[in-house]
Amino acid sequence: MGIDIRSENGAAIAVLSGEIDHHSAKKLRTELDRFIITMQPELMAMDFGSITFMDSSGVGLIMGRSKLLRECGGRLEIHNPQPYIRRVLKLSGLERIVRIK
Amino acid sequence: MEVINEIRFSMPSLSVNEAAARAVVSAFMTQADPTVEELSDVRTAVSEAVTNAIVHGYRGTKGKVEMTVRLLSGREIYIRVKDCGCGIEDVEQAMEPLYTTAPEEERSGLGFSVMSSFMDRLSVRSKVGKGTTVTMRKRLAPHDD
Ligand SMILES: Nc1ncnc2c1ncn2[C@@H]1O[C@H](COP(=O)(O)OP(=O)(O)OP(=O)(O)O)[C@@H](O)[C@H]1O
Ligand SMILES: [Mg+2]
């Protein structure tokens, strides 16, 4: 599991890689929250292109970050999820809260 | 239903074992040559059941999670995940989509929904104070050979 966050003109891109489960979500949450709180980005895009696995712990991670971003006046987008991760996203109804591209 | 092959293992309730359990099940399933989608469905369902045992069953205390994985005749995968944790008071309610007892831990109440939609059959037996056993089955698409 890896994470690399960059920011440009108020927009942040978090490139995630590997597997998101209950175990790995803890570290991702800490790193993402630290960034969101200090940088207060207007937009954060999480690039899921290199995520190879995600279960409902990932849904909790996305919902929590989306909420935190909204509280800081920003919003979240999910980019490039693989088809089988899209199915988990779809089941969760997340598409109504977070833009998925 | 004939059991063609079976693997059993048990692991302590450490979150690092969520990935280990998925890896064992993936390796076991290779013999049935599943599609990418079938494999990812089973891996996700296993992850949900094992995570529930660790997160809810044992609530951060130490305990054992026992797993049985079988390949049955007719290309069916059978999975059982058992914990001896706190148990579930109302199983029907627990299985409702979005129902969770741990919202402050960013749980979304989707684990059982994922298990039931990614597998063909799901059954949950639980006794308060004794533990929980989740059994799932999925039939893989027929093969030519
Ligand atoms: N093995 C278990 N032992 C005790 N309680 C359990 C167990 N599995 C599930 N539960 C109870 O059932 C509820 C629903 O489980 P489910 O997996 O659907 O959602 P969740 O784990 O709360 O959230 P998510 O899976 O989306 O992270 C849990 O909140 C918990 O109260
Ligand atoms: Mg769960």
CATH of domain B3-139: 3.30.565.10
Q: Nearest by CB to B15, from A22, A59, A88: name it.
A: A22
Which residue has the CA at smallest separation from atom 16 of ligand 1?
B111
pLDDT along chain B (145 residues), means of 10: 96 98 98 96 98 96 97 97 98 97 94 98 98 98 82
Residues of A whose CB is below 8 A from B106 = 25, 29, 60-61, 63-64
Q: Range of A48's domain?
A: 2-100
Other CB atoms within a 10 A radius of the CB of residue B129 amount to 8
- CATH number, position A19: 3.30.750.24
The domain total for chain A is 1
Q: Which residues of B are designated catalytic?
A: 48, 52, 107
Q: Residue A93 has what DSSP assignment?
A: T
Please tell me the predicted confidence (pLDDT) of residue B40. 97
Q: Which residues of B touch A57 (CB under 8 A)?
A: 51, 107
Q: Whose CA is nearest to atom 29 of ligand 1?
A: B100
The pLDDT, as a whole number, for residue B12 is 98
Cα–Cα dist B67/B50, whole Å: 9
- Treating both helix axes as pointing N-terminal to C-terminal, what angle do A56-71 and A83-92 enclose, rounded to 10 degrees? 70
Residue B88 near residue B128 (C-beta atoms within 8 A): yes
Q: How far is the CA of A41 from the centre of ligand 2 (A)?
A: 30
Residues 6+ apart with CB under 8 A from A3: A14, A15, A16, A17, A27, A28, A31, A32
Q: What is the block-wise mean pLDDT of chain A (101 residues), using blocks of 10 residues?
A: 89 96 97 95 97 97 97 96 94 93 92
> Tokens representing B118?
């990614």
At residue B143, the pLDDT reads 84
Determine contact, residues B37/A84, Cβ cutoff 8 Å: yes
Parallel/antiparallel/unpaired status of strands A75-79 and A43-54: parallel
Q: Do B106 and A60 touch (CB under 8 A)?
A: yes
Share of residues in chain B with pLDDT > 90 (%): 95
CB B110 within 8 A of CB A92: yes
In the block, tokens 């130490």 appear at B62
Q: What would the two tokens of residue A78 be?
A: 């999910």
